[in-house]
């Protein structure tokens, strides 16, 4: 009979082994605690500041607080609120408003943080009849107004798209258009604002184009403007490049390259709500898509609206397009809807939202879609509170998550006092793990089977008597991620052959934010 050799362990070595085991146990507990805490860094809240109010912009501050700019109306009709005042607010780490500052007769279009100075730009109502100018307000972090500058030329109403800022030069550029109230003639203007000196210049760069500049981006002393351009064949959307002297260097037609429902080429363009960002050597444009010859875009054969992403190279040549939307609903992009993270592009928008009818007697959904840098679609995820939501801005946060702001309409069909500002914080996995600061509920272990455990080449995740979609993340004890994606099918096999032996942690999350966490061993 064969017997195992007797192994004698010295007392010192035995103590050392026990210490290693104890240390490993505490490291594991600490890692699980940190991982769970990270997942809990999310919230969702709705705040009421006035008759009708809406959050438009958000910036994350350094003290786990958020700076929010929005609009408040004193009246509304059955279709849309009439905003006549703005507000700046500070929200705490769970989205609760702790201080506000009203800005009368103003509508914000962009907000920036330069050192300890808050800069907000937008429309300033100059007369009750609707005569507008361009205003820039500077505030300190206690929300005290430091200075204001208003551009209101005589006999002109001035409107703008979204401003852009050059942090190095401490300057803001603003593509705007002026309407002569006597002749109704449009002029396209490049508005330059010196933040430190509180001075501005305005350069008319074209009085023959159709005007209506949408948004702009500074690049090598040039300003890139997306606007409608008029030609002998009618008007079309395109990009205009302007130098710092207000000279037009080039103009280029930009479309999605996608045929409409009637197979007509070059008919689908980005519409009136467009955002431009530059990342690496590419330009990314996102906004609603429409047919210039109709009120809505006809992609599915119905009156549905969608939005799109267009990717351009450094020469403004189109290299990628992605249409975002559902064939059974209207879909709208956020004003500030693009976030870059880990060489991926995330775009925020709203499903079940019609531009020409603000209030709908049904719930809408926040959509976040993920794309490669060439514009190709990877996956999307939806979030809902059971109310009518509208997303205006999504930004990345320092913990790798997202902060989203917009509006929530509660009294569906009542059309009074139902529009409130909406704030949502997602964790680094895109999960909403809590509502109004409450911890997320737990999924039952009876819903899943994870086998074999220990595993060698593969580990299998299987759903038990259910068909819903989940999100699955798997990491090792050092936090290295080996899997992070949606789990749609009944079974999911993960190849472990390239990974080292040891303990691995997993987290399963459903669409409500409920979580199930566990671990397995790789031999």
Q: What is the CATH number of domain 440-522?
A: 2.60.40.3080
Q: Report the alpha-carbon distance of residue 491 to residue 454 in Å, rounded.
A: 18
Structure tokens at 415: 């059309």
What are 265-321's pLDDT values in tens digits? Answer: 555 677 766 888 999 989 999 988 764 444 444 343 344 577 889 999 989 999 999
Q: 């109709």: which residue's tokens? A: 294
Domain with CATH 2.120.10.10 in the chain: 108-253
**What pLDDT band is residue 260 in, cutting at 50, 70 and 90?**
low
Domain with CATH 2.60.40.3080 in the chain: 440-522
Model pTM? 0.73
Is the domain spanning 108-253 CATH 3.40.50.1820? The answer is no
How much of the chain, in percent, has pLDDT values that exceed 70?
72
CA-CA distances (angstroms) from residue 476 to 35, 328, 470, 482?
Answer: 11, 41, 20, 8
Helix (H, G, I), strand (E, B) or coil at 40: coil
Order of strands, sheet of 458-463, starting from the edge strand that comes earlier in the sequence: 448-451, 458-463, 491-495
Distance CA 428, CA 485 (A): 13
The confidence score (pLDDT) of residue 269 equals 72
Per-residue confidence (pLDDT) for residue 297, from 0 to 100: 42
**363-413 confidence digits (pLDDT tens):** 678 889 999 999 999 888 887 766 778 899 999 998 888 999 998 876 544
Considering the chain, what is the average pLDDT of its residues? 77
Under a CB-based contact definition with an 8 Å cutoff, are residues 329 and 352 in contact?
A: yes
Confidence band for 173, pLDDT divided at 50, 70 and 90: confident
Other CB atoms within 10 Å distance of the CB of residue 413: 10
């Amino acid at each position: 009979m064969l017997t195992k050799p007797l192994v004698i362990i010295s007392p010192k070595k035995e103590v050392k082994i026990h210490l290693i085991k104890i240390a490993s146990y505490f490291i594991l507990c600490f890692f699980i605690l940190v991982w769970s805490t990270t997942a809990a860094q999310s919230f969702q809240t709705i705040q009421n500041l006035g008759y009708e109010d809406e959050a438009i912009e958000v910036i994350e501050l350094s003290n786990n607080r958020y700076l929010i700019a929005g609009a408040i109306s004193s009246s509304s009709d059955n279709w849309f609120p009439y905003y006549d005042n703005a507000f700046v607010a500070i929200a705490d780490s769970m989205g609760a408003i702790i201080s506000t500052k009203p800005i009368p007769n103003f509508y914000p279009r962009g907000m920036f943080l330069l050192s300890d100075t808050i800069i907000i730009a937008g429309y300033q109502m100059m007369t009750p009849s609707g005569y507008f100018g361009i205003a820039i307000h500077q505030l300190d972090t206690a929300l005290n107004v430091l200075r204001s500058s208003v551009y209101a030329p005589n006999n002109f109403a001035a409107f703008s798209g979204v401003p852009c800022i050059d942090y190095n030069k401490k300057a803001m550029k603003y593509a705007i258009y002026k309407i002569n109230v006597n002749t109704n003639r449009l002029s396209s203007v490049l508005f330059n604002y010196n933040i430190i000196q509180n001075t501005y210049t305005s350069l008319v760069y074209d009085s023959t184009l159709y005007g209506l500049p949408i948004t702009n981006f500074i690049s090598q002393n040039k300003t890139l403007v997306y606007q409608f351009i008029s030609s002998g064949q009618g008007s079309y959307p395109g990009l205009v490049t302007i130098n710092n002297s207000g000279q037009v260097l080039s103009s280029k037609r930009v479309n999605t390259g996608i045929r409409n429902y009637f197979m007509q080429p070059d008919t689908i363009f980005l519409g009136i709500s467009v955002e431009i960002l530059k990342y690496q050597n590419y330009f990314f444009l996102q906004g609603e898509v429409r047919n210039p010859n109709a009120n809505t875009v006809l992609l599915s054969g119905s009156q549905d609206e969608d939005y799109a992403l267009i990717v351009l190279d450094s020469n403004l040549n189109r290299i990628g397009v992605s249409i975002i939307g559902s064939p059974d609903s209207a879909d709208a992009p956020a004003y500030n809807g693009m976030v870059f993270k880990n060489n991926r592009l995330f775009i925020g928008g709203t499903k079940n939202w019609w531009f020409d009818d603000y209030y709908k007697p049904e719930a809408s959904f926040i959509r976040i879609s993920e794309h490669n840098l060439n514009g190709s679609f990877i996956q999307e995820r939806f979030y809902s509170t059971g109310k009518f939501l509208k997303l205006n801005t999504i930004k990345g946060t320092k913990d790798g998550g997202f902060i989203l702001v917009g509006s929530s309409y509660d009294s569906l069909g009542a059309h009074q006092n139902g529009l409130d500002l909406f704030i949502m914080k997602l964790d680094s996995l895109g999960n909403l793990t809590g509502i109004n600061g409450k911890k997320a509920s737990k999924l039952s272990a009876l819903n899943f089977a994870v086998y074999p455990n220990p595993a060698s080449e593969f580990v299998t995740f299987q759903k038990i008597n259910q068909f819903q979609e989940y999100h699955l993340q798997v990491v090792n004890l050092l936090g290295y991620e080996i899997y992070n994606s949606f789990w749609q099918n009944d079974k999911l096999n993960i190849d472990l052959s390239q990974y080292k032996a040891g303990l691995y942690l997993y987290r399963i999350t459903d669409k409500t934010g409920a979580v199930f966490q566990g671990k397995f061993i790789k031999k």
